[in-house]
Amino acid sequence: MKRVFGYHSYKKYLKDISEMQGRGAISKLAEAAGCDRTYLSQCLSSKVQLTPDHILGLAEYLNLSEAEEEYFLLLLLFERSASRTAQLKIKKKMEKLNQADLILSKKIAQKDDSNELTEIQKAKYYSSWKYAALHTLSSINEFQSTQTMTRKARLSEIEGLGILKDLEKAGLLSFQNGKWIHSGKNIHIPTGSSHNAQNHMNWRLKAVDSVNNKNAIHYTTLFSVSKKDWELLRTQLLAFIDRQRDTIHASGSEEMYCFCCDLFQPFD
């Protein structure tokens, strides 16, 4: 389902929903809104507006969260308002909801079974890519022994064993029947953490190592766009990351991959 955040028109959002759902979508949306199909079609193609009751019915049908429902309703109020002052106030509320949704760490924290480490454990974990690499490899059956894991990561067994024991002490792994087993707990660094820069640096340096790998994808571009499209790009990227995480969590564990992505204002 498309996310309502990032849209500037509830009509555009409903049009995209109907296109995605295909044949019969308008009828289903009209039924959820509690209005006639012809009336809904007229609203989506003219200046005729829906009512708050219609929007709330649609929000329930689309299974929107409380914040999404509030944003959806604000879109309607913005388009129905004839007062410039009211529009500015509504737009400000919409921007706050959008910004709250764009804080990726908040969204991920709601999904993940996060494991809170001590500051000493965090400092050690993010000091090198090796900790995260062995932590991830332990989720793959093929690489759960010390030998296979260290060989895959190109580490000595002595160094690798020390890292694995640190991960075990942190509650991220357990040693069972000669295998290092992933605890199932994930770690996420919240925005503002002192470990963020080091973690990104660790994996971007690894990305540079594979820059000539024909099977890898490395993309860097500098561009100028309108501020409106900049917000659209941010929203699209966050939505992609959200979908990517859902795919990863639902997938099996066969091989380890690394995804690095940067989208920012260089001189902000």
pLDDT value for 193: 79
Rounded Cα distance, 224 and 267, in Å: 13
The pLDDT of 46-68, averaged and rounded, is 92
- Asked if residue 147 has pLDDT above 70, the reply is yes
Rounded Cα distance, 135 and 199, in Å: 14
Which pair of tokens denotes residue 129?
């890519």
Helix residue spans in 22-83 (DSSP H)? 25-33, 37-45, 52-61, 66-80
**Which residues lie across from 181 on neighbouring strands?**
174
For all residues of the chain together, what is the average pLDDT? 87
Rounded Cα distance, 72 and 65, in Å: 10
Percent of the chain with pLDDT over 90: 45
- Asked if residue 200 has pLDDT above 80, the reply is yes
Q: Pick 15 or 20 by higher pLDDT.
A: 15
- Asked if residue 54 has pLDDT above 50, the reply is yes
**Which residues lie across from 175 on neighbouring strands?**
180
User: Which has the minimum average pLDDT: 7-11, 18-22, 109-113?
Assistant: 109-113
Rounded to two decimals, the pTM is 0.57
pLDDT value for 113: 47
According to DSSP, residue 251 is labeled S
The size of the chain, in residues, is 268
Rounded Cα distance, 166 and 155, in Å: 15
Q: Pick 268 or 41 by higher pLDDT.
A: 41
pLDDT value for 194: 80
Rounded Cα distance, 136 and 116, in Å: 17
- Asked if residue 191 has pLDDT above 70, the reply is no
For the stretch 239-254, pLDDT in tens is: 888 888 888 888 888 8
Rounded Cα distance, 245 and 239, in Å: 10
- Asked if residue 110 has pLDDT above 60, the reply is no
pLDDT value for 108: 56
- C-alpha dihedral, 101 to 102 to 108 to 111, nearest 10°: 30
- Asked if residue 267 has pLDDT above 80, the reply is no
Q: Contact 149/132 with Cβ under 8 angstroms?
A: no
- pLDDT-based confidence at 61, cuts 50/70/90? very high
